[in-house]
Amino acid sequence: MSESLPLVAYQTTEERVHALENDGYVYFPKALNPNEVKELYAVMDRQQAIPESFDRHDTPETRGFLNRTINNAFNRDEILLQYIDRPEIIEVVEAIHGNDCHVIGMTAWMTGPGRPQQGLHIDWLPFPLPSDVIADPRVKVPVFITTLHFYLDNLTEELGPTQFVPGSHKSGRGPEGDIEWQGNQPQSILCNAGDAVLFRSDVWHRGTANTSGQIRFLLQVHYARRMITQKFPPYLNRFQFNEAILAKATERQLRLLGNHRPGSYD
Ligand SMILES: O=C(O)CCC(=O)C(=O)O
Ligand SMILES: [Fe+2]
């Protein structure tokens, strides 16, 4: 039985930024209300995988468990667009990545019973550093990429919660087979439907096994500093924005989707 994280709800953007910088993640309780959870669940449930868009739909027959991922989810249904800039969360994202930051991906992800535990990993290590260098208080590695998880279920150990190793981004490396960092073990996010967690790409984490009889519904939004490229497959100009959804987007949403003010290299 693994430990679960004490889920601390910070009240100000400043405290939330501090948590993300120090612990590697920050928790947003009740980011969605019950009606939004229900609506989002239904929207995600009806999305069909488009293989040309790099979506996946593995089934118990083909892979041993259901695994359905829908890329560029903001482009599928206008209901999904609003989740790229939820109030309070987007303020933290912009404080971390800058006011010109953008969305680099959005994935609707459904994982069914039988999904095995992932290895402890980082999503991306922007800046490998020797442990004595990163331990120097003058060294502060910027947060280049974050991922936001909206959980649409009440998480239990059986449903396969995400686990984090608090502070592990301060190791300057990936886990490389380690299963704890400075005594910190992977700890489960046992949160409720409608809660969200934002985490940096270099914190050690993993999705755990789904041993329940239920499908876990997760909506991910990936954010980054503007210089990190967006990842909207299929590439080579084959991805097309849905014009009807773009027409509904606010200025901020358009910027997050890539309507940048010209800068270096543009
Ligand atoms: O499934 C999860 O909860 C986490 C997934 C994850 O970290 C990943 O696929 O990179
Ligand atoms: Fe990951």
Tell me the pLDDT tens digit for each residue of 156-190: 999 999 999 999 999 999 999 999 999 999 999 99
- The fraction of the chain above a pLDDT of 70, given in percent, is 99
User: Which amino acid belongs to residue 195?
Assistant: D
Cβ-based neighbours of 52, under 8 Å, separated by 6 or more: 234, 238
Rounded to an integer, the average pLDDT of 197-218 is 98
**Ligand 1 center to 117 CA (angstroms):** 10
CB of residue 220 inside a 6 A radius of ligand 1: no
Buried b or exposed e, range 93-116, using 16+ CB within 10 angstroms: bbbbbeeebbbbbbbbbbbbbbbe
- Considering every ligand atom, which ligand is closest to the CA of 189? 1
pLDDT of residue 100: 97
pLDDT band at 6 (very low <50, low <70, confident <90, very high): confident
User: Is the CB of 162 inside a 6 Å radius of any atom of ligand 1?
Assistant: yes
User: In the predicted model, is pLDDT for residue 43 greater than 80?
Assistant: yes
Q: pTM for the complete prediction?
A: 0.97
Fold topology of 3-257: Jelly Rolls (2.60.120)
Rounded CA gap, 144 and 137, in Å?
A: 19
Residue of the CA atom closest to atom 7 of ligand 1? 206
Ligand 1 pocket mutation pick from 162, 204, 212, 221 by most atoms within 8 angstroms of CB: 162
Task: Give the mean pLDDT of 34-54.
Answer: 98
Ligand 1 pocket residue status of 123, Cβ below 6 Å:
yes
Distance CA 112, CA 108 (A): 13
Check pocket membership of 186 for ligand 1, CB cut-off 6 A.
no
Provide the pLDDT for residue 5: 83
Work out which ligand 1 atom sits closest to the CA atom of 205. 7
Q: Please identify, by atom number, the ligand 1 atom nearest to the C-alpha of residue 163.
A: 3
Ligand 1 center from residue 257 Cα (angstroms)? 23
The pLDDT tens digits for 101-117 are 999 999 999 999 999 99
**Confidence check: pLDDT of 1 > 80:** no
pLDDT at residue 4, as a whole number: 84
What residue segments make up the domains of the chain, in order of their start?
Answer: 3-257
Ligand with the closest atom to the CA of 107:
1
